[in-house]
């Protein structure tokens, strides 16, 4: 997989600037780059990551590369099995991921009901309405909006733990290549459910909000599973 390590960014880090702005910038940068490449499948699951190659290709030493890999390991994106290997999310894992999402997003939505301001709800409504234009949008754009909606609700829970846990599940979620997501009817259903959640949110009914959120995640689970089986 060395070839896939972004041929397009030959020397950033110009002449070994070594700019060290307080906290480790290099490691953070390497981490971000690697993570992006992994999540976009530019580096495929299962491929080996060699410290020297990354370090050479990015023009940094092995130490920041090492730290980046360590962080990726903590995020569950790579593992150390006789060298660094990009983790893959198998079908069996999907059920586990969605179970987590039900628990996390369900309760986060409950909390959001108690804490969201009317301005927050307006923002969410704007997102939902934007998603109504699914007929004229790319699936990627739709996906982005969808993600934004869920992310924002979780953030509105006001609890950073939920944000972190949610983010963690997203890694694995992205990690399975979702074949065809967001057919037209799926988009319709998604928007319907988003409106249900939003309705509960704005009427301040936590039970309803949690119930709808759970149902929505369950629906998505079903869609994903069907897509993978079919």
Interacting residues with its own copies (CB under 8 A):
22-23, 66-67, 70-71, 74, 80, 82, 96-97, 99-100, 102-104, 106-108, 111, 157, 159-162, 165, 168-169
Q: Which of 36, 42, 80, 180 binds DNA (CB under 7 A)?
A: 80
Minimum Å distance from CB 76 to DNA?
17
Name residues contacting DNA, limited to 111-170 (CB under 7 A): none
Any residues with CB less than 8 A from the CB of 23 and at least 6 apart, and which? none
Minimum Å distance from CB 157 to its own copies?
8
| Cβ nearer to its own copies, comparing 86 with 145 | 86
Q: What is the CA radius of gyration of the chain?
A: 20
Q: Which of 35, 84, 131, 190 binds DNA (CB under 7 A)?
A: 84
Does residue number 23 form part of the binding site for DNA (CB under 7 A)? yes
For residue 193, which of 73, 109, 96 has the smallest C-alpha distance?
109
Does residue number 173 form part of the binding site for DNA (CB under 7 A)? no
Does residue number 14 form part of the binding site for DNA (CB under 7 A)? no
Does residue number 67 form part of the binding site for DNA (CB under 7 A)? yes
Instruction: State both tokens at 23.
Output: 């906290």
Alpha carbons within 13 angstroms on the beta-carbon side of residue 65 total 16
Residue range at the interface with DNA (CB under 7 A); choices 42-50, 100-108, 154-162, 218-226 = 42-50
Does residue number 50 form part of the binding site for DNA (CB under 7 A)? yes
Binding at 160: pick from DNA, its own copies, none (beta carbon under 5-8 Å per type): its own copies
Binding residues for DNA, rule: CB under 7 A, are: 16, 18-27, 48-52, 55, 60-64, 66-67, 80, 82-84
């Amino acid at each position: 997989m060395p070839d896939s390590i972004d041929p397009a960014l030959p020397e950033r880090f110009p002449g070994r600037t070594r700019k060290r702005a307080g906290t480790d910038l290099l490691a953070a940068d390497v981490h971000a780059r690697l993570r992006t490449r992994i999540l976009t499948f530019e580096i495929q699951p299962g491929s080996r990551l060699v410290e020297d190659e990354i370090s050479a290709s990015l023009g940094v030493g092995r130490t920041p590369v090492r730290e980046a890999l360590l962080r990726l390991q903590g995020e569950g994106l790579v593992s150390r099995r006789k060298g660094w290997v990009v983790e893959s999310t198998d079908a069996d894992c999907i059920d586990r991921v969605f179970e987590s999402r039900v628990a996390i997003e369900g309760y986060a939505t409950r909390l959001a009901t108690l804490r969201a301001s009317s301005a927050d709800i307006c923002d969410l409504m704007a997102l939902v309405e934007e998603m109504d234009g699914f007929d004229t949008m790319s699936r990627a754009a739709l996906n982005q909006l969808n993600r934004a909606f869920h992310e924002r609700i979780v953030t509105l829970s006001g609890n950073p733990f939920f944000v972190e846990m949610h983010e963690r599940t997203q890694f694995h979620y992205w990690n399975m290549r979702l074949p065809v997501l967001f057919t037209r009817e799926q988009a319709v259903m998604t928007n319907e459910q988003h409106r249900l959640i939003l309705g509960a949110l704005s009427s301040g009914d936590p039970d309803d909000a949690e119930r709808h959120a759970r149902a929505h995640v369950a629906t998505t689970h079903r869609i994903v599973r069907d897509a993978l089986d079919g």
